[in-house]
Amino acid sequence: MGAFILKRLLSAIPLLIGIATIIFFVLNLAPGDPTTFYFNPNVPPEIIEQLRRNLGLDQPLHIQYFKWLTSFFQGDFGYSLAQSRPVADVVWEALPNTLILTGTALVLVFAFGMIIGVLQAVRQYSIFDSTSSVVSLFFYSMPSFWLALMLVLIFSLKAHTWGWPIALPATGITSVDYEFMSAGEKIRDRISHLILPVGTLTLALAAGVARYMRGQMLEVIRQDYIRTARAKGLSERKVIMKHALRNSMLPVITLLGLYLPFLFSGTIFIEVIFAWPGMGRIIYEAIFQRDYPLVMATSFIFAVIVVLGNLIADVLYAVADPRIRYD
């Protein structure tokens, strides 16, 4: 296993360099340039040239590329053009916010998704199965931004106008008077801000996990070895939780591998609607402002996480299913 992981990590290096190269050139081929961000009609063209010199944009593309690559591998991501500060600072400020949001959401998505899926499979065709199927398909097929806006409408705006005892904050990560709160109030404040965005993500994504879990579980509990397990007198709980569940995990692990990158990137629409200051918005705005250094750094980190996500999924396959061996 150790050799497998090492091999995979080594083979990822040329892949990542390739990705970085493609990102660099695609971005530079896109129309527009970062000086238009400071664009002002009254600024004479020679000043825009000076600005390009200051930013190093006057150099030929291949020189810019090698300069960028060299400093990149020395850990210097350069300066964000729009925020006038080091890219590393921008990323470090936003990353924890995204991790809190997507980390909480992912845990809940897989917890709820798997629980619902297992229960549905075990009680196939029961009332619970059909109602939860309808409900989860309802949320699964709903556009997430619309779901988000509906939750805001009901739990924030209407809850306020109707005078419900519970009115959730619609936006932001903390209240404006957060710094004046006691420790307990701070925790409550943070959780109350998390509920709507995490709720949206969980409702939208857990349904998918549940469908996969249910399908695979139904297949597994009809297998001979499950019957054998029951025959040798194991309790039903043990049969389901130990023998069936573990063998139904493979598609869920695939999903986990696919969802992991989003831990980093966040989801742009959630961050926009709920004004969550995370990575999704950083990437989104950087692209529109042609903030090249920031776009390149974030896309590269994103690529790294995608590669890592796949690796983790592969390793977990072997953990879940002893028949899978990487030698």
Q: Which of residues 87-146 bind another protein (CB under 8 A)?
A: 90, 93-94, 97, 108, 112, 115, 119, 122-123
Distance CA 79, CA 87 (A): 5
Least Cβ distance, residue 231 to another protein (angstroms): 12
Select from 6, 9, 13, 32 the one that contacts another protein (CB under 8 A): 32
Shortest Å, Cβ 118 to another protein: 8
For residue 325 the two structure tokens come to 């061996």
Per-residue contact string for residues 176-215; x = within reach of another protein by CB under 8 A: xx--x----x-xxx-xxx-x--------------------
Among 88, 135, 149, 218, binds another protein (CB under 8 A): 149
Helices of type H across 123-182: 127-141, 144-152, 159-161
Neighbouring-strand partners of residue 189 = none
Q: Which stretch binds another protein (CB under 8 A): 66-74, 159-167, 295-303, 309-317?
A: 159-167
The SS3 assignment for 306 reads helix
Give the residue from 121, 317, 321 showing the smallest Cα distance to 212.
Answer: 121
For residues 171 and 236, the answer to whether their CB atoms sit within 8 Å is: no
Contact mark string toward another protein, 209..248, x via CB under 8 A: ---------------------x----xxx--xx-------
Applying CB under 8 A, the site for another protein has a residue count of: 78
* Interaction pattern, residues 70-89, with another protein; x per rule: CB under 8 A: ---------x--xxxx----
* Euclidean distance between the first and the last CA atom of the chain, given in angstroms as a whole number: 7
Q: How far is CA 85 from CA 89, 90, 125, in A?
A: 7, 7, 58
Residue 3 or 29: the one with the smaller Cβ distance to another protein is 29
Of the candidate residues 17, 57, 167, 305, the single one contacting another protein (CB under 8 A): 167
Decide if residue 282 touches another protein (CB under 8 A). Answer: yes
Between CA 206 and CA 109 the distance in angstroms is: 4
Give me the least distance between CB of 6 and another protein, in Å please. Answer: 38
Among 6, 26, 43, 324, which residue interacts with another protein (rule: CB under 8 A)? 43
Smallest distance, another protein to C-beta of residue 69, A: 21
Span near another protein by CB under 8 A; candidates 10-18, 48-56, 57-65, 207-215: 48-56
Our measurement of the distance from residue 25's CA atom to the centroid of its chain's CA atoms, rounded to an integer in Å, reads: 25
CA distance 315 to 302: 20
Q: 275: phi > 0 → left, psi -120 to 50 → alpha, else beta; which?
A: left
Work out which of 73, 146, 288, 326 binds another protein, going by CB under 8 A: 288
* Residue 166 interacts with another protein (CB under 8 A): yes or no: yes
Tokens representing 301 are 């980190």
Query: How far apart are alpha carbons 101 and 273 in whole angstroms?
Result: 14
- Joined tokens for residue 168: 């959730």
Per CB under 8 A, does 165 bind another protein?
yes
Is 40 a binding residue for another protein by CB under 8 A? The answer is: yes
The vertex-19 CA angle with 16 and 22, nearest 5°, equals 155
Interaction between residue 172 and another protein (CB under 8 A): yes
